[in-house]
Amino acid sequence: MLSVYFTKGWRRKGLLLLSVFIYLGLVYLAVGWNKLFTTKPKTEIVLQSFQRKYTLPKLNAANRKEIVIKDTQSKSQTSHTTKDMSVSEILTRVYKYFTNDFPITEEPVLSWIKNEKVFCDKRLLISGDRFAIGKNVRMFPSRRANIQSVAKGGEEVRFVLNQDLSKEEYIYNMDFWEMDCPKENTPINSNGFYWSRNIVLKTESNNSKAENQSVPRTETMYTIGVRRQDYANLHNWVRDVFNVFIVMLHFKLQTSQVSILFLDGHPFTYLDHAWENIYSKPIRIGHLTEPVNYEKFIWGIQENMGPITEPSAQNTVPYLEEFRSFVLSQFNLSSEHKLQCSKPKITLILRRNAVYHPRNVEGKVGRKIFNEPEIVDALMKKFPKAHIETILMESVPMVTQLKISSNTDIWIGMHGAGMSHTIFLPKHAGVLELFAKDFKSGRPWFKCFHDITNWRNMSYQTWENLDSALDMPHDFTIVPTEILTSKVEALMNKLCPK
């Protein structure tokens, strides 16, 4: 009887285990069947030029907040140049346009130089109320308002979230800079010059000589003071860098002769590395505590007072091609890209939410394209021989951005900072700029990138959403693929006439 009991017991256990396995199998099949008919398909776009892969789900308006990015590139990669040449070697290059063999002949820069005001027995020269140069300028970093409570600058954004802008935009005392004049000085009567109220001209005396000796450090390099405004925006960065380039053209200064001084307390951004590549590693005035005597100090052009202005009343901006060549060269990139009509290169700019500065804690970014995968699929079908790429600008270093843009034939993107690369595109390239619904209203500067294409005589197409049905939640816009491909085709026909 006992043996029969155990035999029946094992049978019971076997039947129980079999039932469990059958149940789990049915559950697995049900889940798989459900996924087969409910999971949204995905399109993977491999960015071949820098081995980065994005997985772009096709989602609907109800469940879409963000496109998931699967990043296969290590975030620790920080290379700035494409070859083995060091930054210090690049910064010692000599450019012809920074020599006397390249005279300035184009407006508006020529008028600024002609409209030069002289002060302090030619020790201070102000050009067109835009920029100035001073000899033996004493600077006192502590002569700023609320110096104990303002930011020093260069902090990581995550440590200064919600920081008020007033902590980054310094208020300078009227005697922040001092200069000694050999005879009785004339007040600076240049109201259009931004820094005129912060420079004191003192009559040279024994006391002033003693003051010079008391300054612990003397800087012998040309130092260009740059007051950044919208520092985290690529377009504003381009304007600042271009303004420094114009100043160097005028004073005939090679990069090895120049030091950059940030006259603000903004946090760190990836664009700071780009400054270092092009000119030199910037010095932050908030990190200085002791007075400095500058043998040659240049107050740079204010960002919104340079040749690239918004909105621009100018028909052209001078020296854009020289500027493009200069920037690419500083990143050790070629400025020559030959159009191959048999395999043109088309690049689509992606936009994502991200925290770029302390005042945008939620990281909201507007004007995003809702149907990116469909657009890429449509472009691949319409132009099967073309090389199609996508790029999320802020996810890659500037050298990678420039490598892509300088070798692109057709550049597509929503109006935004990434369109600033229009300056670095080959001159033959075409641009397709997209606009979200009602974006142009009350924003006269919406045409800034169109202006660049006009200045460079490039082909340009545009599309603006006029249909509310194409508006999606979270600042997404559906861009009709048939309209987009037709506009790209129009650009292609100009590049490669049949």
Per-residue pLDDT tens digits for 283-329: 999 999 999 999 999 999 999 999 998 656 667 899 999 999 999 99
Residue 421: pLDDT band (50, 70, 90) is very high
Structure token pair of residue 178:
């001092």
CA 57 to chain centre: 27
pTM greater than 0.85? no
Q: Provide the pLDDT for residue 205.
A: 74
The Cα 80–Cα 65 span in angstroms is: 33
Q: Provide the pLDDT for residue 14.
A: 62
Is pLDDT of 70 > 60?
no
Residue 53: pLDDT band (50, 70, 90) is very low
Report pLDDT digits (tens) over 240-283: 999 999 999 999 999 999 999 999 999 999 999 999 999 989 99
Is pLDDT of 15 > 80?
no
Residue 211: pLDDT band (50, 70, 90) is low
Q: Is the dihedral of CA 83, 88, 93, 95 positive or negative?
A: positive
Greatest mean pLDDT among 32-46, 439-453, 461-475 lies in: 461-475
Taking CA 199 as the corner, what is the angle to CA 143 and CA 272, rounded to the nearest 5 degrees?
Answer: 65
Q: Provide the pLDDT for residue 173.
A: 96
Q: Provide the pLDDT for residue 306.
A: 92
Q: Provide the pLDDT for residue 45.
A: 37
Is pLDDT of 232 > 50?
yes
Count of C-beta atoms within a 10 Å radius of residue 362: 7
Residue reference for tokens 């970014």: 365
Segment 54-78 shows an average pLDDT of 35
The Cα 249–Cα 306 span in angstroms is: 14
Is pLDDT of 141 > 50?
yes
Q: Provide the pLDDT for residue 212.
A: 59
Is pLDDT of 207 > 70?
no
Structure token pair of residue 393:
């600008």
The Cα 362–Cα 308 span in angstroms is: 31
Q: Provide the pLDDT for residue 79.
A: 41
Q: Provide the pLDDT for residue 225.
A: 98
Of all residues in the chain, the percent with pLDDT exceeding 90 is: 69
Report pLDDT digits (tens) over 90-117: 777 899 999 999 999 999 899 999 999 9
- Range name among 141-150, 185-194, 344-353, 420-429 with the lowest pLDDT average: 185-194
Summary mean pLDDT of the chain: 84
Question: Higher model confidence: residue 458 or residue 213?
Answer: 458
Tell me how long the chain is. Answer: 498
Structure token pair of residue 160:
């200064």
Instruction: Name the amino acid, one letter, at 340.
Output: Q
Report pLDDT digits (tens) over 148-174: 999 999 999 999 999 999 999 999 999
Structure token pair of residue 134:
């001073």
Q: Provide the pLDDT for residue 206.
A: 55
The Cα 333–Cα 403 span in angstroms is: 7
Residue 209: pLDDT band (50, 70, 90) is low
Is pLDDT of 143 > 90?
yes
Instruction: Name the amino acid, one letter, at 136.
Output: N
